[in-house]
Amino acid sequence: MSTATTAPAPHHDLLCGSCRYNLRGVPLSTTTGTCPECGTPFDPTVLVGELLPWEQGRYTGWSWAFAATARLATFFPTRLAAYTARPVDWHAAARFRTVVVVLALLPPLVTTALLRDFSSPPRTIIDFPGFNPADVWGTLYLIAHNPWCFSIALLGLATWLAVATGTPGYFFPNPKTPQQSRALTLSQYACAPLAYTPVIYLLAAECFWIVWKCPLFRPDESAQLLRMQFTRLAVFLPSAAAAQFAVWLVAALVLMRRTTQCSWTRIAFAAVAIPAAWMAEALVIFTALLALSSYALLVWSSLGR
């Protein structure tokens, strides 16, 4: 007849992660125990301070946990790779990736709201002297004022971000060991640079606001200067986005190399294939959405008759 093995009770302060009860002296069964206050099981060998910052969120606060994880994955991917030495939570990584996608979608929504406000009569963007409807501002104006175009653009962007943030993981080796499985989990944190999208757009919005409010740049006084500022803004935003994607790619490649010890040939292939996959995904997603929306409009118009 076998009996349960009893491990020594912890002789140091160990707080319950659920109710903060001091577990010092609580008897353990093998390597696990149960909090006598709330009944939550705990493992004394896994301490909160050793977890990823994002996985500490329920104990330290989600805002701090997200900011610390975004900083770690963006600027110190080699430190993030060291977490393959301990268990990591796949579901927590997926939640972090979802939050990043939501943050990246906020600026387009805010930009649309600003365009609808700024383009109200009698001072609209398309009313500026010398305005070309074919440029980027004409496209933004159309998207902002056409609910159908806005819905397609937002759905396409959301779908593409959801797919693209998981793309680097497909270039990691197939997990055959626990460490490789953890490496695949950590690959979801590589999209952390996109979390800084609202900050970049805030800087751009401040520039836009100053230009709009400055009397020297009013359309009736100096439309040419205003268009020049718009052009600078149109150059700044794509450049900032390109820098974000470059940092994202570097973070994914560093994680791949440090966590899986794969060959430099595989890294070089991934450096070329991941951006190509991003572009192909965008092309397929937006083409499919445009085709489906056009078909839906045809069906709707035929039913209307």
Could you give the percent of the chain with pLDDT greater than 70? 65
41 three-class SS: strand
- What is the distance between the alpha carbons of residues 191 and 245, in angstroms, rounded to a whole number? 9
pLDDT at 135 over 60: no
Same domain, yes or no: 224 and 117 = yes
Output the CA–CA distances (angstroms, integers) from residue 184 to 28, 86, 179, 230, in the order listed.
33, 13, 9, 41
Same domain, yes or no: 199 and 243 = yes
Same domain, yes or no: 219 and 281 = yes
Amino acid at 101: V
Give every CB contact of residue 126 below 8 A, 6+ residues apart in sequence. 119, 133, 138, 141
CB-CB neighbours of 233 under 10 Å: 16
Output the CA–CA distances (angstroms, integers) from residue 202 to 38, 73, 105, 110, in the order listed.
44, 22, 14, 10
- Left if phi > 0, otherwise alpha if psi is -120 to 50, otherwise beta: which for 178? alpha
Tokens of 13: 């302060």
Choose among 3, 5, 2: nearest CA to 33: 5
Output the CA–CA distances (angstroms, integers) from residue 94 to 89, 182, 223, in the order listed.
9, 13, 47
Same domain, yes or no: 66 and 40 = no
Q: How far apart are the first and last CA of the chain?
A: 82
Using omega within 30 degrees of 0 as the cis cutoff, is the peptide bond preceding 198 cis? no
**pLDDT tens figures, 204-261:** 766 666 555 555 545 554 456 556 666 777 677 788 888 999 999 999 999 999 988 8
Output the CA–CA distances (angstroms, integers) from residue 158 to 97, 155, 163, 164, 297, in the order listed.
12, 5, 9, 10, 22
The answer to whether 250 and 116 are in contact (CB under 8 A) is no
Total number of domains in the chain? 2
The predicted model scores a pTM of 0.74
Same domain, yes or no: 68 and 201 = yes
Same domain, yes or no: 167 and 34 = no
Same domain, yes or no: 82 and 163 = yes
Same domain, yes or no: 145 and 81 = yes
Choose among 1, 49, 8, 52: nearest CA to 27: 8
Same domain, yes or no: 8 and 92 = no
The contacts found for 197-200 with CB under 8 angstroms, 24 or more apart, are 197/103, 197/104, 197/106, 197/107, 197/244, 198/103, 198/106, 198/107, 200/107, 200/237, 200/240, 200/241, 200/244
- What is the distance between the alpha carbons of residues 298 and 77, in angstroms, rounded to a whole number? 49
Same domain, yes or no: 160 and 217 = yes
Same domain, yes or no: 26 and 99 = no
Q: What's the distance, CA 247 to chain centroid?
A: 13
Q: Domain range holding 196?
A: 50-304
Could you give the percent of the chain with pLDDT greater than 90? 35
Same domain, yes or no: 7 and 100 = no
Confidence (pLDDT) at 2: 35
**pLDDT tens figures, 143-191:** 666 677 777 888 899 999 999 999 999 999 888 888 888 999 999 999 9
CB-CB neighbours of 275 under 10 Å: 15
**pLDDT tens figures, 98-116:** 999 999 998 877 776 666 5
The answer to whether 97 and 158 are in contact (CB under 8 A) is no
32 three-class SS: strand
